[in-house]
Amino acid sequence: MEMEIGVSLKKHGYLNIPIDPKMDLESEIQRLKKEKNAIILGHFYITPELQDISDFIGDSLGLSQKAKNTDADIIVFLGVHFMAETAKILNPNKKVLIPDLNAGCSLAESAPADKFKAFKEAHPDHKVISYINCSAEIKALSDVICTSSNAELIVSSFSKNQKLIFAPDKNLGNYINSVSGRSMVLWDGACMVHEKYSLEKIIQLKDEHPDAEFIAHPECEKPVLIVADFVGSTTALLNYTQKSTSKKFIVATESGILHQMQKQSPDKVFIPAPSIDSTCGCNDCSFMKLNTMEKLYLCLEHELPELEMDEALMIKAKTPILRMLDISKKLTN
Ligand code: 13P
Ligand code: SF4
């Protein structure tokens, strides 16, 4: 069995072991979780059934805050690789599991560490703010990390005279530049999901639903953000839909969040914003959707795949993450 597991992990990036189709996956996951003192942390973009089985569901900031404070022995991360890395960096002595090692992120991949290092060296008098959607290597090269929830706050923690690099998301960077009046130097990276929205189709949809508010995540491109009634992180969008008196929303972010919106406001209507290619399901992050109930069960049962990271890298990457958590605490309290 050990051999099979090793081969399966190497070949697939996840455990590919047959599961009895009669097994009640949900109760088995609950049992294993209790037995092993494990916590399941899930991002808003995973499937509804995984969101419902998570102990905590949140955006990138909420998930890192939760990861920092948990007393569980095992963290199972239902999200993507950089999120599990952040949890591991904050908990180097805990076991961090990720059901599928292939759950990457196009945005994180758009900033290779060697190229980013050269970019940073070309701007020696700049401080570096990196969006949490990046590899641990990029975090280690940064002064402070931010998420879409706290990007404005993190940027404002630097004096107006301080020159800044913002990486890797040019759309979020552009948005923060426009609301803060800064002119941060931007790394040319983007998210494949948020870049696919069609402005033309959104405008058409707005015309068809004049009673709907259009809300968008700041990873979307500038022309889309300009026509939005509200721009915010996944948590901010969720809170907005609950508080707003509107009954209908066109939502430009990954479609997983619609589950929470609908749960919180069952009487409201949520329409996913259309992508350039309406046949491709581009509103789904294919990396997030690699997480499944079967992989979660196998991951908890065998405690694999486990995230393993270089200790020196974790130490370097931890400082800018802690700085972010500290600034967020001070500025939100
Ligand atoms: P937030 O969770 O910060 O809203 O970011 C969305 C995202 O793209 C995560 O990958
Ligand atoms: Fe990365 Fe975009 Fe997927 Fe978020 S939605 S994990 S930024 S590819």
pLDDT band at residue 217 under the 50/70/90 scheme: very high
CATH number of this structure's domain 199-272: 3.40.50.10800
Average pLDDT over residues 77-105: 97
Output the pLDDT for position 281: 61
- Peptide bond just before 48 cis, omega within 30 deg: no
Q: Is the model's pLDDT at 3 over the cut of 70? A: no
Q: Is the model's pLDDT at 232 over the cut of 60? A: yes
pLDDT digits (tens, 9 = 90+) for 168-199: 999 999 999 999 999 999 999 999 999 999 99
Residue nearest to atom 6 of ligand 2 (CA): 105
What 3 state SS string does 17-33 have?
CCCCCCCCHHHHHHHHH
Nearest atom in ligand 2 to the alpha carbon of residue 191 is 2
Average pLDDT over residues 220-244: 97
pLDDT digits (tens, 9 = 90+) for 239-261: 999 999 999 999 999 999 999 99
Average pLDDT over residues 5-15: 95
Q: Which helix H or strand E contains 212, and what residues bound it?
A: strand 212-216
List the chain domain ranges: 2-104+288-308, 107-190+315-332, 199-272
Q: Is the model's pLDDT at 216 over the cut of 70? A: yes
Percent of the chain clearing pLDDT 90 (strictly above): 93
Nearest atom in ligand 2 to the alpha carbon of residue 106 is 8
AA identity, residue 99? P
d(CA 317, CA 315): 6
For residue 133, report the phi and psi dihedrals to the nearest 5 degrees: -75, 65
Among 45, 51, 56, residue to substitute to test ligand 1 (most atoms within 8 Å of Cβ): 45
Average pLDDT over residues 222-230: 98
Percent of the chain clearing pLDDT 70 (strictly above): 96
Residue nearest to atom 1 of ligand 2 (CA): 105
Q: Do domains 107-190+315-332 and 199-272 have the same CATH topology?
A: yes
Nearest atom in ligand 1 to the alpha carbon of residue 191 is 8
For residue 25, report the phi and psi dihedrals to the nearest 5 degrees: -60, -40
pLDDT digits (tens, 9 = 90+) for 88-98: 999 999 999 99
Output the pLDDT for position 333: 41
CATH number of this structure's domain 2-104+288-308: 3.40.50.10800
Output the pLDDT for position 162: 98
Average pLDDT over residues 11-32: 97
Output the pLDDT for position 1: 60
Distance from residue 250's CA to the centre of ligand 2 (Å): 19
Cβ burial of 219 (10 Å; 0-12, 13-18, 19+) is buried
Are 239 and 263 in contact by the 8 Å Cβ rule? The answer is no
Domain 107-190+315-332 coded CATH 3.40.50.10800: yes
Global pTM value: 0.95
pLDDT digits (tens, 9 = 90+) for 291-333: 999 999 999 999 999 999 999 999 999 999 999 999 998 644 4
Distance from residue 17's CA to the centre of ligand 1 (Å): 31
- 181 CB contacts (<8 Å, ≥6 apart)? none
Measured from the CB, is residue 105 less than 6 Å from ligand 2?
yes
Among 219, 284, 288, residue to substitute to test ligand 1 (most atoms within 8 Å of Cβ): 219
Distance from residue 58's CA to the centre of ligand 1 (Å): 9
Distance from residue 42's CA to the centre of ligand 2 (Å): 14
For residue 88, report the phi and psi dihedrals to the nearest 5 degrees: -70, -40
Q: Is the model's pLDDT at 71 over the cut of 60? A: yes
3-state secondary structure of 134: coil
Q: HSE (CB half, 13 Å, CA atoms) of 40?
A: 27
Output the pLDDT for position 61: 87
Pocket residues: Cβ below 6 A from ligand 1? 59-60, 133, 147-149, 191, 219, 233-234
Q: Is the model's pLDDT at 99 over the cut of 50? A: yes
Residue nearest to atom 9 of ligand 1 (CA): 60
- 155 CB contacts (<8 Å, ≥6 apart)? 129, 146, 164, 166, 176, 180, 182, 184
